[in-house]
């Protein structure tokens, strides 16, 4: 069922059910009140007649004159009047009942009132009248009139509800229809020209913005994947071509099977291995593998890494300067922290030219352990900083250097840093260099110290 039809039915039910209940309650209440009103009016009428009869009977008139006065009065009321004494003997009987109005199903109703003289009951006033179902007839007539009125009101309300429902359903379903069309476009790989109209409804406007953000993100990711496919193809083709040429040259005897040529082939194989390993680690980054927690001195680890990578820095004539705070022992995954530092130092080296500098700093302050890798290389444009941790993303100016990367290193760094419970911050200016800061809570120190005290 379409949203517009669903909301129309729901809205009609929500309006008509309470309205119908209201009409029924109102009709029943009016009928009851109207019947009570008619009965009250009838009682008032007989009380008024009783008072008139009492006045005439207590007046100092001859009995004949009283009879004539009562007869004339009762004739207009279409009643039978009997005056009884204390012994229930009839003193006066005046019959003014209309013969023509009596029907087979009519009853004669009797009403008795005391005849009072000087505050004492001296007899009884008895009225007899024909029950013509006057109250029922008037109530039925009133009910029919009320029903017609309520029916007309219901029809007017129903038509108004249908008209209002159409405009409300249209106003709500129209932006949702555009959202549905937009999501189908995104599903088909069309990320532009979504044509989402602005909405005054906050939730729908928010959803519009989310859909547009999703489309732009998917468009950006698609461009990254396409670029990366070309880049990785290029990265793999170069070592493979070099291997093919060297092996064919060895086979054809063009070059000698010397240690230098074997070293070249081995380097190309190692280069391929690095690229494939980076791909594997990048794609498996979402898998929550178990951490291998151990206690170690951070300064000693960073010194070991510095010694290992220093030849690469010397070869490129880039100065690596370490400024490490001593005696910081932590408990975390040593291998993953090592790979994080190595990747960041490798990226810093790629961004540097001859005579540039890379600074490796370790500090413990404000309840934080901070590891900083800062270089004086080419830096990055501000718009690139928000994307550098995306898988496959490569900064354009780094691509244009002599040593290019696979676009996976920083994605791995980000994933491993999160797994270790830390976060990574970036500061960079194009032409001035970049700084990557690893930040960990010093709770990992507290854990180590507690363990040490318990030993």
Confidence at residue 102, expressed as pLDDT on a 0 to 100 scale:
53
Confidence at residue 284, expressed as pLDDT on a 0 to 100 scale:
54
Enter the tokens of residue 143: 């009910």
CATH 3.10.450 fits 202-283, yes or no: no
Residue 402, classified by CB atoms within 10 Å of its CB into exposed (0-12), middle (13-18) or buried (19+), is exposed
Q: Are 436 and 422 in contact (CB under 8 A)?
A: no
CATH of span 3-137: 3.30.450
**Domain spans of the chain, in order of start:** 3-137, 202-283, 293-454
CATH of span 293-454: 3.30.565.10
Mean per-residue pLDDT, 260-266: 78
User: Per-residue pLDDT tens for 79-132?
Assistant: 788 888 888 888 888 887 776 555 555 667 788 888 888 888 888 888 877 766
Mean per-residue pLDDT, 195-222: 80
Mapped onto helix, strand or coil, the DSSP state of residue 92 is: strand
Q: Is there a shared CATH topology between the 202-283 domain and the 293-454 domain?
A: no
Confidence at residue 401, expressed as pLDDT on a 0 to 100 scale:
44
Ranking 217-226, 238-247, 386-395, 409-418 by mean pLDDT, the lowest is 386-395
Average pLDDT of every residue of the chain: 78
Enter the tokens of residue 442: 């010093």
Q: DSSP string of 372-397?
A: EEEE-S----HHHHTTTTSTT---HH
Confidence at residue 282, expressed as pLDDT on a 0 to 100 scale:
57
Q: Of 220, 162, 154, 171, nearest to 192 (Cα)?
A: 220
Question: 10 Å Cβ neighbour count for 67?
Answer: 16
The Cα–Cα gap between 290 and 74 comes to 109
Q: Are 306 and 321 in contact (CB under 8 A)?
A: no
The percent of residues above 90 in pLDDT, for the chain, comes to 13
Kindly tell me if the per-residue pLDDT of 267 is higher than 80: no
Ranking 187-196, 267-276, 375-384 by mean pLDDT, the lowest is 267-276
**Within 13 Å and on the Cβ side, how many CA atoms surround 14?**
7
Confidence at residue 374, expressed as pLDDT on a 0 to 100 scale:
95
Kindly tell me if the per-residue pLDDT of 298 is higher than 80: yes
User: Per-residue pLDDT tens for 317-339?
Assistant: 999 999 999 888 899 988 889 88
Enter the tokens of residue 394: 């490569």
Query: CB-based contacts of 20: which residues, under 8 Å, 6+ apart?
Result: 154
The Cα–Cα gap between 124 and 104 comes to 29
Indicate the pTM of the whole model.
0.44
Kindly tell me if the per-residue pLDDT of 11 is higher than 60: yes
């Amino acid at each position: 069922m379409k949203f517009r039809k669903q909301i129309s039915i729901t809205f009609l039910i929500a309006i008509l059910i309470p309205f119908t209940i209201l009409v029924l309650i109102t009709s029943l209440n009016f009928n009851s009140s109207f019947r009570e009103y008619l009965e009250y009016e009838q009682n008032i009428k007989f009380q008024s007649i009783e008072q008139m009869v009492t006045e005439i009977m207590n007046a100092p008139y001859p009995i004949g004159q009283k009879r004539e006065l009562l007869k004339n009065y009762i004739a207009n009321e279409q009643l039978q009047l009997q005056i009884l004494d204390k012994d229930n003997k009839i003193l006066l009987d005046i019959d003014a009942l209309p013969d023509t109005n009596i029907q087979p199903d009519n009853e004669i109703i009797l009403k008795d009132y005391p005849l009072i003289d000087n505050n004492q009951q001296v007899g009884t006033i008895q009225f007899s009248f024909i029950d013509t179902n006057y109250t029922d007839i008037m109530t039925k007539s009133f009910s029919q009139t009320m029903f017609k009125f309520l029916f007309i009101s219901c029809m007017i309300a129903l038509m108004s509800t249908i008209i209002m429902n159409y405009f409300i359903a249209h106003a709500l379903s129209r932006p949702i229809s555009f959202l549905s069309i937009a999501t189908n476009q995104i599903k088909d790989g069309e990320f532009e020209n979504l044509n989402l109209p602005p909405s005054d409804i906050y939730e729908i406007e928010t959803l519009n913005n989310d859909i547009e953000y999703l489309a732009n993100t998917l468009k950006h990711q698609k461009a990254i994947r396409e670029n990366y496919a070309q880049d990785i193809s290029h990265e793999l083709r170069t070592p493979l071509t070099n291997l093919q040429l060297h092996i064919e040259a060895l086979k054809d005897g063009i070059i000698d099977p010397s240690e230098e040529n074997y070293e070249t082939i081995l380097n190309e194989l190692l280069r391929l291995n690095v690229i494939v390993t980076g791909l594997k680690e990048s794609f498996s980054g979402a898998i929550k593998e178990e951490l291998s927690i151990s206690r170690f001195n951070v300064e000693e680890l960073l010194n070991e890494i510095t010694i290992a990578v220093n030849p690469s820095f010397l070869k490129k004539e880039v100065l690596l300067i370490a400024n490490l705070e001593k005696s910081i022992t932590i408990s975390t995954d040593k291998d993953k922290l090592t790979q994080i530092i190595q990747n960041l130092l490798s990226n810093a080296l790629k961004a540097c030219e001859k005579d540039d500098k890379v600074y490796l700093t370790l500090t413990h302050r404000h309840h934080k352990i901070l590891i900083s890798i800062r270089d004086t290389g080419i830096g990055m444009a501000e718009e690139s900083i928000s994307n550098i941790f995306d898988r496959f993303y490569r900064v354009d100016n780094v691509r244009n250097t002599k040593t290019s990367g696979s676009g996976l290193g920083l994605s791995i760094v980000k994933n491993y840093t999160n797994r270790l419970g830390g976060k990574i911050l970036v500061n960079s200016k194009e032409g001035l260099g970049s700084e990557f800061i690893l930040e960990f809570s010093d709770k990992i120190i507290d854990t180590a110290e507690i363990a040490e005290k318990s030993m």
